[in-house]
Structures are given as C-alpha cells and as structure tokens.
Amino acid sequence: MKKSIQIMCLFVVLTQFSCGQDPENKANIADSTPFDAELLVDGLQIPWGLTFLPDGAMLITEKSGELIHFKEGKKTSITNVPPVYNRGQGGLLDVALHPDYENNGWIYLSFASEEGDEKGGNTAIVRAKLDNMALTNIETLYKATPNTTKGQHFGSRFAFDEEGYLYFSIGERGDRDTNPQDITRDGGKIYRIYDDGRIPEDNPFVGQEGAKEAAFTYGNRNPQGMTVHPQTGAIWIHEHGPRGGDEINIIEKGNNYGWPVVTYGINYSGTPITDKTEMEGMTQPIHYWVPSIAPSGMTFVTTDTYPGWKGSLLVGSLAFQYLERLSLDGTKVTDREKLMEDIGRVRDVVEGPDGLIYVAVEGKGIYRLNPVD
C-alpha cells in the first residue's frame, strides 16, 4: 500500500500538482488585507538581505558585493566590505545584527568567498563593526570548504535563537550526491555556532571523527529562508526543491531532512530523482510546494498592524514573483494567499521594528507595505 502511495505521489509530482497536502490549501487570487506597497528604496538590482539599525537606518546587501546604508532617503555605500565571489547564486548574501547590537556593535554577513586554495568559492560567515560608514574589526567565523566553481546553492540565511546561538544555512553547492548526507563535508546543512564562531559542545556531531562539528542538521538542499517562531523559539527554514518540492522545515538537533534520498521534487529535465517521499529516520517537511515557488526570505508577522495577519508566515516567491502569506494552525498550513502579484522576484521579506513589512524585490528595491484603513 505504501509503495502504491509513493508511486501515485511521484505521478502527481511529475504532473506538477500538489500531493500529500490539504486539498483546500491553494493560493488565493485576491489580497484580503488592503495595503499600499510603497517603493521606499529604489535603484537596487538584487537586494539579497536587509536589517534595521537601532536608529531606524536600514542595511541592505546587494548580491554584487555592495553593502548599503539607507536612512531618510539617502543611500550610502559602506566601504571595506570583504570581496565576494559573484558567480551564479553566489555573492554578498544575508545581513543580521547581534541581539545585543546596541552594546557590542556586531554585524554579521554571509557571502560567497574565494578564500582558500581551490578555485571558485564557498560560503563564508563573518562579523564586523560599523565605524564612519566603513566595516572594521572583521572576523571570519566560518568558511565552508572546498571551493568550487559551481554557481549554485550557497544558502545562506541567519537567525539568532533565544539563547544567543547563531544559526546559518549553506546549500549543497550543486553536489547533491556527496555533500548533504555526509556529515564530514560542508554543504546541505544548517549550522549552529556561538556568536564569536566557537562551536557549542553539545552540537550533535561534536567528537565524531571527521565531522563538521558546527553542523546542526543535514540532508538540506538550499535553504534561503530562516526565522525564529515568536512563541516557541524554534528555528523555521524553507529550502528550494528542484523542480517542485520546496519545503518548510522546523530545525531539530541532529535531524536528517532527507535530500536527495527523499523529495517531493523531480529533476529539471522531468526525470525522477527517487521514488521515495519519506523514509524512516528522515524528517518530513511541515509543508511543501508543488510546483516550486522558488522561496526566498521568510518572516513571521508578530503585530496587529495588518488585520488577520498576526501569526502568519510570509515567504517571497522568485519563480512566480509575488509575496505569499501562509496562515497557520500550530505547525499546519491552513491557507495560502498571494500578495503583491507580479511585483517581481521577491528576494527577502522582514518585519521591521515599526511593525511594518518590508519586501526586497529584484530589479526594483525595497517596498514598505503601508496599511490602508
């Protein structure tokens, strides 16, 4: 019976419809909550990540390698940014502040770096301080190896949990048959470190011969969304599937999320990757998309600013060029809604300290969603 279900599910994946989910869980057409999408920061090409400084200024990463300071309509390029390996999906990626930034001033960046002996690049994590519009005190906290000239699947998003640990993602770098299921290799994993780069003693693979001891999970493909649940404190991620099979996962210590042994997706050519969508010892997603929306950026709505949205999850869609709102009942997705349809490739979405939603769109810039009565 189980095999027949798997075969049927594979058929559904091949025909690009949803399988294994609530049949009512379909993206709606209309926006239910009125808002004005105001283009607040224009003239950006690939704004990959953004965060807010305590004075209300915004830090924005451009994939090409520029770090932008934006305040009161003025854009300033920050100097002394580490050189990036700007190839394919690689470049300057996420940006985040230390939870105690007002006291210690640490800014965290992820980017594709050429550091190392091999040609090409791989994901690096650094922290630095901002002084007179220049980065100073730059420290490398983690650098994935080996470098490769492949241009795909660098990750990379950040989140600090309630205990102050830093989590970050590194994609499997296009080497699906080697990296994600091997804990001795970087890539296809979520990592957990202290804020200064030290590895926590209770990480799941500490002490195992040859293991990447910073790794916290494995079997991940290319996570480009990461956020903290506002009530439970759990780390939620989403990750790109291949053709179909994008996933939302809740991160748990030492778990194997299955890629590429199990997946709801298929090869871009249309051929199967595997006939399995689940396997003992591999964690199932709480939600998956077929067809793929190509998710990027992720945040929970925690305020009452937008009626009916509190507790929802917002996810950007690169493929279909809209912002998706997912209603939740605990960890179950109960409804989906398309927002900002045809706006462009949505690369990131954050809830600002003012309770408003900010959306980064490729080729345009940063939009602010202003509620309308």
Residue 270 lies in a domain: yes
Residue 145 lies in a domain: yes
Residue 360 lies in a domain: no
Tell me the residue range of the domain where 169 lies.
47-290
Residue 303 lies in a domain: no
Residue 99 lies in a domain: yes
What is the residue-level pLDDT of the chain in tens, covering all 373 positions? Answer: 333 333 333 333 333 333 334 333 444 434 466 899 999 999 999 999 999 999 999 999 999 999 999 999 999 999 999 999 999 999 999 999 999 999 999 999 999 999 999 999 999 999 999 999 999 999 999 999 999 999 999 999 999 999 999 999 999 999 999 999 999 999 999 999 999 999 999 999 999 999 999 999 999 999 999 999 999 999 999 999 999 999 999 999 999 999 999 999 999 999 999 999 999 999 999 999 999 999 999 999 999 999 999 999 999 999 999 999 999 999 999 999 999 999 999 999 999 999 999 999 999 999 999 999 7
Residue 284 lies in a domain: yes
Domain of residue 96, CATH code? 2.120.10.30
Residue 337 lies in a domain: no
Residue 192 lies in a domain: yes
Active-site positions? 153
How many domains does the chain divide into?
1
193 contacts 206 by C-beta, under 8 angstroms: no
Task: Tell me the pTM.
Answer: 0.92
